[in-house]
Amino acid sequence: MDTTADIHDPFDSDMYGANPEQNAAGTPSSLSNATMGGDGADLTPADEGNEDNGNSKRKRFFKVVEVDAPNNLDLDAYIAAYKGHTKINRLEFIATRCPSLQIDALKLAVAELKSVSTMEVGRYVNLVKKLNEAVKFGGPSAANVNPELLTVDRAWADMQVQKVKQQTDLLEGELKNYKRNSIKESIRMGNIELGNHYYACGDLTSAHRCYARTRDYCTTSKHIIELCMNVIKVSIELGNFTHVLTYVVKGESTPEVAQDKELTKAKLKVAAGLSHMDLRKYNQAAREFLTIGEELVSNQYGEVISGNDIAVYGGLCALASFSRPELKRMVIDNVGFRQYLELEPHIRDLIQGFYNSNYAVCLDIMEKWRNDYLLDIHLHSHIEALYTNIRKKALVQFTSPFLTVDLTKMAKSFATTVPVLEQELVSLIIAGQIEARIDSQQKILWAKQTNKRSAIFERSTAMGQEYEKDSKALLLRVQMINHGLVVKGPASDKGVGPHGGPPDGPEDLTGQPFAMRLGGRGSGGRGGARGDQLFENTRSNVSNFLSSFAQLGAQSIPPQAVPSPTVKIYRDAVYYSYKPLGISFNFEPSQPLIPAQYTSGQQTLDPTKLTLVAIHLYKSPADQFSTYPTAFLLPAPTTIVNKSDTAAAVAPVAVVIELDMSKKAHEIVQALGEPEEKQGGGRNGNCWIGYQKSLGFAVDFAGANWEDKEMSIASVTLTRPGDCR
C-alpha cells in the first residue's frame, strides 16, 4: 500500500503564488487564513460550511494558545511518529496555531522537506519565507535558528523543479503509450505511478483522479485494495471523508488476498474512524478505533496516524458516547486497545477515573491536555463537542446514585459555579437525561420521585380516552362511507339538497361550449364531475352515448356537418374518430378483441362491451384531424368545492378553467400550474405535459423546444382524473 517513496507536501507553487497573504504568519487573522490553507483536513468546503461554531471555537482557541504553550507536547517526539505528508501537514498546522511553537515547528518542517529532497518546491520556498517572518516577529528560540534554514537553496530548488517537470512528462508519455497498447495491467500501473508522482508533488486532485482511474483496470481483489488504500490516503488529506467512507466499505467488502491482511484491515478501520469522527458520529468512530487490534501500535500507519493518536481519539470518543457498561466492556476490558492506552497513560487514567467516578481527576486531566489536542490536525475541531459530551455524561453519572445533591458541592467537584451548573442541569433535565428537579432556593437537586402507580393510572386513562375517541371516529367514518356521505363535487351528489340552494356551478357557461353539454348531460356540470360522469355514463352503453353525442352536435352544428365516425379496432382499444370535428373517442373493450375478425366482417362491435377511457381533441393538421371547434372546461388544479354558507367567509376559488385549442403552452401552464409530468423535448420528440393525476388532462405540443413558450397545441387528451395510461 505504501506507494510514496518520497515525502512531500500538498501544495504546489502556483497555489502559493495565488495566495500571498498566506505567507504572513503571526497575527490572528492571517493565522486563521493559514489554517485553512495549511491543514489538509480543513480544506473541504463541507468542513468549512457546516461548522460555523467550529470557527468560533478556533478563535477562542487562539487566545488560549497565545498565552501558554501546550503542557505536554514534546514536538520532536510527537512528530517522529509520523511520516509522509502528514508530518509536514501537522508541523505546519501547529506552526499556524501556536506562536510559541511556531519557529520550532517550521524549522522541523523545512529541515524535513530538504532532507527528503522534496518534489514540492513551492511549499519549501513558502515555509522558508514563513520561518523568516516568524524569526523577524521574534519569539522564543528565534535566536537559535540555523541560518542555513533561513535561506532558500535556489540551485537545489531549480533542480527539483526541473526534475518534477521531467518526471511528469515521462510518466504521462508512458501512460499514453500503455493506453495505445491497451494492456490493462500496464495502464493501471501507469496511472498509479502518475498518481504517486502527483501525490508527491502535492497535486492531490490530480493524484486522486489518477488513482480513481485505475478502478476500471482492477482485475484482482489485491488491485482493488490497492485502489482503495490510494484513494483513502488522498481523500483523507483532501478532507473528503464521505469519500473515504465509501472506499472503506468497498475495501472491507473485498475478499482479501494481501499478505498483510490484518494490517490492511486495521488501516481501513482507522480511515473509517477518522471519517466518522469528522462527521461527528463519535460512537461509531469510537467503535472503529477500539477494534483496530494491535497492528498499528508502533506507528505502522505513520503517514496518517500514530499509535498515540489512536489511543487519544478512541478514548475520547468512547468517553463521550459510550454508556457505562459499554465503557467497561469495550474499553477497559479491551486487551487490544490496552496496548495503545499504554502509549498515552493519561488517557488510561482519564478513563479509569471516569469509570470510578473521580470526576475532579478526569476534568483536571482533560483541562491539562486540552491545548495539546487543540493542536491535533484531526481532533482540534471536535475537542469542544467531545469535552461537552464527556462533561454531560459525568454530570448524569454524578447525580444518578443520590436522592439529593447539594449544588454547591457538586459545583466544586466539577470546578464550576452554581449558576452555570444549574443551567447545565436544567438542559439535561429538559432533555430527559436526568430525572430530577432543582430547588433553586436552597440550591439542592432532588431526584424525581416518580410514583409509578399514578403514572400508570394516568397513562391508562389517557389511552382509554384515545381508544374511545379513535373508535368512535372510525365508526362514524364507516357509516359515512356506507351511506355515500363522501365529500365530492356537487354535480355528482344527490342533486340540489333540500336546503342547499342552487349548485354553485358556473351557470353562465351553460349551453355555450360543446364539451360542456357533452359532459354535463346539459346540466352545466361542474369540472370535477365532468370526467366521472361522462365516463360512468358511457361505461354501459356506448351506442347511446354516441348517438347523443351526434344529437348534441346537431344542435350547434348543422346536421349535415355531423360526420359518421371512422372506427379503428385494435386488440385492446377501439377508436371512434370524427375527423372533421377534431375529436376522437378511445374505448377499451371488456376483453381483448381480434381485429381481423371485425375488419373481415365476421363480427360486429358490441358497443355495450366498450368503456370510454379517453377523449382526444385535435388541432389541425395533426393526424389529418380538423381543429376541435369550441372551448372545453377543466377543473381548476385544486378543486375546492362547496363554498359553504359558513359564517367564516371563504374566499371564492376559481373552480373551472376554460381552454380551447388556440391556447399556447405558456397560457396552459399559467392556467393549470406546473405540470405533474413532462416528456419529450429536444431529441426526444415533441413536448408533452400531463396533469393526469389531478385533472385527467394532457397536452401534446407541436414543438420540441421547452424554451418556446409560444408552442401551440397539437392534441389534448382527457381522461378520468387519476387514470394514468
Partner 1 sequence: MAPTDPALDSVMAKILAASDLTAQKTLLNDLPEHVFTAKAFTSEDPLDAISPAENSLAYLYFLLYRCKASHGFHPALMEKLWAFVSTCDGAQIRLASDKAMSFAEALVKMASESQQPIIAIRPLATFIQRIQSNAGQLTMIHPLLAKTCLLAQSFKDIIPILDNDITDVDPSQTSIDYRDILLYNYYGGMIYAYLKRFERAIDFFRLAVSAPADVTSAIQIEAHKKYVLTSLLHLGKVPPLPKYTAQLVLKALKMHSAAYIDFAGAYEKKSNGAIKSELEKIKPQLIRDKNFGLAKQCMEALHRRNIQDLTRTYLTLSIENIASAIGLGSDPAGQQYVEGIIVQMIESGDIFARISHEHAGGMVSFLDDPNQHNNTATMDTISAQIQSATEITAKLTAMDQKISTMPEFFSKGRHGPMPDFGGYPMDESDYGMQMGYENYVDEESFV
Considering only residues 628 to 647 of the shown chain, the ones binding partner 1 according to CB under 8 A are 638-644, 646-647
Residues in the chain: 725
DSSP state of 344: S
Question: What minimum distance in Å lies between the beta carbon of 482 and partner 1?
Answer: 9
| Residue in 458, 507, 606, 623 binding partner 1, rule: CB under 8 A | 458
Count the residues of the shown chain that bind partner 1, applying the rule CB under 8 A.
Answer: 73
Task: List binders of partner 1 among 703-722 (CB under 8 A).
Answer: 722
Task: List binders of partner 1 among 658-687 (CB under 8 A).
Answer: 679, 684
| Residue in 415, 653, 654, 666 binding partner 1, rule: CB under 8 A | 653
| Long-range contacts formed by 124-129: CB under 8 A, 24+ apart | 124/9, 124/152, 124/157, 125/13, 125/16, 125/152, 125/157, 126/11, 126/16, 126/22, 126/23, 127/92, 128/152, 129/23
Question: What minimum distance in Å lies between the beta carbon of 644 and partner 1?
Answer: 5
Task: List binders of partner 1 among 330-349 (CB under 8 A).
Answer: none
Is the CB of 126 or the CB of 538 nearer to partner 1? 538
Is the CB of 72 or the CB of 449 nearer to partner 1? 449
Question: What minimum distance in Å lies between the beta carbon of 437 and partner 1?
Answer: 5
228, 212 in Cβ contact below 8 A? no
| Binding piece for partner 1, criterion CB under 8 A, among 140-148, 159-167, 283-291, 486-494 | 486-494
- Could you tell me which residues come within 8 angstroms of residue 173 by beta carbon, excluding any fewer than 6 positions away? none
538: cell is: 358511457
| Residue in 141, 471, 551, 566 binding partner 1, rule: CB under 8 A | 471
Is 465 a binding residue for partner 1 by CB under 8 A? The answer is yes
Is 461 a binding residue for partner 1 by CB under 8 A? The answer is yes
Q: Name the β-bridge partners of 586.
A: 575, 614
Question: What minimum distance in Å lies between the beta carbon of 410 and partner 1?
Answer: 16
| Residue in 52, 483, 502, 600 binding partner 1, rule: CB under 8 A | 483
| Binding piece for partner 1, criterion CB under 8 A, among 198-206, 297-305, 373-381, 460-468 | 460-468
Q: Name the β-bridge partners of 611.
A: 588
Question: What minimum distance in Å lies between the beta carbon of 434 and partner 1?
Answer: 9
- CA 80 to each of CA 87, 299, 311, 549, 617: distance values in angstroms, whole numbers, following the listed order: 8, 10, 17, 93, 81
Question: What minimum distance in Å lies between the beta carbon of 462 and partner 1?
Answer: 10
Is the CB of 329 or the CB of 693 nearer to partner 1? 693
The H or E element containing residue 225 is helix 221-238
The H or E element containing residue 30 is helix 28-38
| Residue in 37, 70, 307, 489 binding partner 1, rule: CB under 8 A | 489
Is 437 a binding residue for partner 1 by CB under 8 A? The answer is yes
Is the CB of 218 or the CB of 614 nearer to partner 1? 614
Residue type (1 letter), 103: I
Give CA–CA dist 668/660, Å, rounded.
Answer: 10
Is 724 a binding residue for partner 1 by CB under 8 A? The answer is yes
- 697-701 and 688-690: which strand pairing? antiparallel
Is the CB of 475 or the CB of 561 nearer to partner 1? 475
Give CA–CA dist 552/554, Å, rounded.
Answer: 5
| Concatenated DSSP letters of 664-719 | BHHHHHHHH-S-SEEE--GGG-S-EEE-TTTT-EEEEES-S-TT-TTPBEEEEEEE
| Long-range contacts formed by 68-71: CB under 8 A, 24+ apart | 68/100, 68/371, 69/98, 69/100, 69/101, 69/371, 70/98, 70/101, 70/371, 70/372, 70/374, 70/375, 71/368, 71/369, 71/371, 71/372
| Residue in 183, 403, 481, 554 binding partner 1, rule: CB under 8 A | 481
| Concatenated DSSP letters of 10-26 | S--HHHHHH-GGGG--S
Question: What minimum distance in Å lies between the beta carbon of 403 and partner 1?
Answer: 13
Q: How many CB atoms lie within 10 A of CB 274?
A: 25
- 632-635 and 610-618: which strand pairing? unpaired
Look at the block and give the residue holding cell 380516552: 465
| Residue in 249, 420, 478, 561 binding partner 1, rule: CB under 8 A | 478
Is the CB of 177 or the CB of 423 nearer to partner 1? 423
> What dihedral do alpha carbons 679, 682, 683, 689 form, nearest 10°?
20
Look at the block and give the residue holding cell 380551447: 660
Is 500 a binding residue for partner 1 by CB under 8 A? The answer is yes
549, 517 in Cβ contact below 8 A? no
| Residue in 205, 467, 544, 654 binding partner 1, rule: CB under 8 A | 467
| Residue in 18, 143, 155, 648 binding partner 1, rule: CB under 8 A | 648
| Residue 511 zone, left/alpha/beta (φ > 0; ψ -120 to 50; rest) | left
Q: Which of 88, 28, 86 is nearest to 58 (CA)?
A: 28
The H or E element containing residue 423 is helix 418-430
Is the CB of 464 or the CB of 621 nearer to partner 1? 464
725: cell is: 395510461
Question: What minimum distance in Å lies between the beta carbon of 343 and partner 1?
Answer: 43
| Residue in 497, 511, 580, 621 binding partner 1, rule: CB under 8 A | 497
Task: List binders of partner 1 among 577-596 (CB under 8 A).
Answer: 592
Is the CB of 415 or the CB of 496 nearer to partner 1? 496
Q: What are phi and psi of 568, to 5 degrees?
A: -120, 135
Task: List binders of partner 1 among 548-577 (CB under 8 A).
Answer: 571-572
371: cell is: 491545548
Question: What minimum distance in Å lies between the beta carbon of 674 and partner 1?
Answer: 12
Contact flags string 127-156 toward partner 1, x per CB under 8 A:
------------------------------
| Binding piece for partner 1, criterion CB under 8 A, among 15-23, 197-205, 475-483, 516-524 | 475-483
| Binding piece for partner 1, criterion CB under 8 A, among 117-125, 128-136, 363-371, 495-503 | 495-503
Give CA–CA dist 207/72, Å, rounded.
Answer: 36
3: cell is: 506507494
Question: What minimum distance in Å lies between the beta carbon of 23 and partner 1?
Answer: 44
Question: What minimum distance in Å lies between the beta carbon of 14 and partner 1?
Answer: 38
| Residue in 259, 454, 564, 600 binding partner 1, rule: CB under 8 A | 454
Question: What minimum distance in Å lies between the beta carbon of 702 and partner 1?
Answer: 20
Is the CB of 233 or the CB of 530 nearer to partner 1? 530
Is the CB of 528 or the CB of 582 nearer to partner 1? 528
| Residue in 64, 159, 257, 485 binding partner 1, rule: CB under 8 A | 485
| Residue in 17, 138, 173, 464 binding partner 1, rule: CB under 8 A | 464
Contact flags string 511-550 toward partner 1, x per CB under 8 A:
-----------------x----------------------
Task: List binders of partner 1 among 404-433 (CB under 8 A).
Answer: 426, 429-430
Q: Name the β-bridge partners of 632.
A: 659
